[in-house]
Amino acid sequence: MSQEKTKAKVLDISLFSRVLSLTKPYKSTFYFCIALSIILAPITMLRPILTGKAINSFIYYKNFEGLLIISLIIVGLLIIEFILRYFFTYRTEWLGLSIIKDMRVNIFRHISHLRLSFFDKTPIGTATTRTINDLESINEVFGQGSISILADLILIVSVMAYMLIYNWKLGLASMTTLPFFVYATYRFKEGIKVSFQKVRAEVARINAFLQEHITGVKIIQLFNAYDREYKKFDTINQSHLKANIDSIWHYAVFFPIVEILSTISVSFMIGTGAFLLLYGKIDLAHAGDLATYIMLINMLYRPLRMLADKFNTLQMGMVASERVFHIMDTQEFIKDNGKIIATKLQGKVSFKNVSFEYIENVSVLKNISFEIEAGKTLAIVGATGSGKTSTIGIISRFYEYNSGEVLIDDKNIRDYTLASLRGNMAVVLQDVFLFKGSIYENITLGDTSISLEKVKEVSQLLGLHDFIMTLPGNYMYEVKERGVTLSVGQRQLISFVRALVSDPSILILDEATSSVDTHSEILIQSAIEKMIKGRTAIIIAHRLSTIKHADKILVFEQGNIIEQGSHQDLMLHSGNYKNLYEMQFGSLENV
């Protein structure tokens, strides 16, 4: 075996050990299932053994009383086997489902804490596949995989041992085709593993495509792109179909081979038995042994055939677990090594020679420096891609800067605990996301410390209360997914209330009025003026009318600050800001 193959095998064993380690919280159930698998093997074997004995000892000698007794014993064994197999099946499935429940919670918690750069390069549909489809496959490792395989192996070994010990000639005849079966199983295992890997990859592609296109269905309808997108999906779907058909092909070849080999084994065993009878090696008083061996052959090849299928279920679970563990092992977290717990920040923000890049050697921010005093308002303007949103992403530590220093209240933001830093900030994004649930739940996001009275108070301050009171259920009005039943302006105002109820020291607004109509803009602008009063505010805006009263305005261009000052100061010079303003509102004489 090559070094690479040996390494792969070790890695598989390591992966399997890691999957089994998931049973630690349920050790008693895990060991209970193993014990049942050990007990079931001899009980299952007793039926053909007793059947052979019934023929040899009672039917041959016409002992009907003894036949009745042994028949009742066989029925009793069937009842016991039924009860034990019920508990075995139920508890193994329960074990798998319990482990998956824990894993689903853990992976959701893990993904929720990953830095945003992970989601920038990972399709949401792929992450969804990992947390749903792949986890279900891991469940089968326990329900139809490892423990069930162990039970089958114990039964196979027990049957083979009995067949060789009781009559080694009949035993060897019964196992004539076993080497061919082992080879066929190995080829089946290797082929189906590759097929399952392709199937899982295609499922992830389909989920990613559907998630993206169902979310963007309005764009598809607006641009009449049905046929083009259908063709793309059809191509992906065909690849998924081909991957599944490839896996089915392996089953279609393997199972007939198993049936042929088991039939040949029975034929060899009967032929050997007939030879032994003809030459007086056994007599008719032991004819029941042939019946026993026929039943044992079926008992041997049935779990062998199912073992291959279960092993492939295990392989599919291993492939899925590898994908899930890849997500769980992703350590793309914002480092939370700070020791300072910020109870209430003043809000002074300083950037000192800060550089940042999403992709290595492609700078987004280039040694920028600025400062905003506590309680003041800073506005940032500039063309798309100039670094505005990256700047606020750094302040809230959604992204880590590469060099320089970012200070809040003259302390490096990395010295604060992440929770306390973000607890003193509120960010309102251009694309407002509302969850399925009530307006109250969307505002508080499950924070039980925020009372309904507090929500109403802030809503009244921002001019949203009267609108909410017109809705069925008022603050308990059920918002549909992504807030589709509300207008853009209404969703934006709800996001303002969400930001303000926590009374943040630093308020960040990213293009808060860029997607609303004039009437909504007036309402939102009024709300902004109330929100920023008495707190540090950082506003990104394309509409310069919303930032005229900012204490300081920064003009960004290709990651650099090319101008800064108040609105009045910047309008005195013929720079980018003045040009932008005149483009929006005409010449200075018409302003």
- Between the alpha carbon of residue 367 and those of residues 351, 355, 362, 410, 549, the distances in Å are 9, 5, 13, 19, 27
- Residue 515's pLDDT is 55
Q: Which residues contact 16 (CB under 8 A, 6 or more apart)?
A: 146, 318
Q: Which two tokens stand for residue 150?
A: 């162990």
Q: Which residues contact 46 (CB under 8 A, 6 or more apart)?
A: 77
Residue 362, classified by CB atoms within 10 Å of its CB into exposed (0-12), middle (13-18) or buried (19+), is: exposed
- Residue 513's pLDDT is 59
Phi, psi dihedral angles at 361 (to 5 degrees): 70, 15
**CA torsion angle for 250, 252, 258, 261 (degrees, to 10)?**
-110
* Alpha-carbon gap, residue 423 to 528, rounded angstroms: 20
User: Do 171 and 164 form a contact (C-beta atoms < 8 A)?
Assistant: yes
Question: CA angle 386-404-395, nearest 5°?
Answer: 60
The one-digit pLDDT tens for each residue of the chain (591 residues) are 444 343 344 346 788 788 888 888 998 998 998 898 888 888 888 888 888 888 777 776 777 887 888 889 889 989 998 999 899 888 888 888 888 888 888 888 888 777 777 776 766 666 777 777 777 777 777 767 678 788 888 888 888 888 888 888 888 888 888 888 888 877 887 777 778 778 878 887 887 788 778 777 767 776 677 788 888 888 888 888 888 888 888 888 887 887 888 788 878 777 877 777 766 666 555 667 778 888 888 888 778 777 767 777 777 777 778 888 888 887 777 888 889 898 888 889 999 999 998 887 888 899 999 999 998 989 998 888 888 888 988 998 888 888 999 999 999 999 999 888 888 888 888 777 788 888 888 888 878 888 888 888 888 887 888 888 888 888 888 887 667 778 777 888 888 888 888 888 898 888 765 555 566 667 777 777 777 787 898 988 877 777 888 889 999 988 899 989 888 888 888 888 888 888 877 654 444
Per-residue pLDDT of 172-186, as tens digits, reads: 888 888 888 888 877
- Residue 222's pLDDT is 67
- The domains located in the chain, with CATH, are 25-328 (1.20.1560.10), 349-590 (3.40.50.300)
pTM of the model: 0.65
- Residue 412's pLDDT is 93
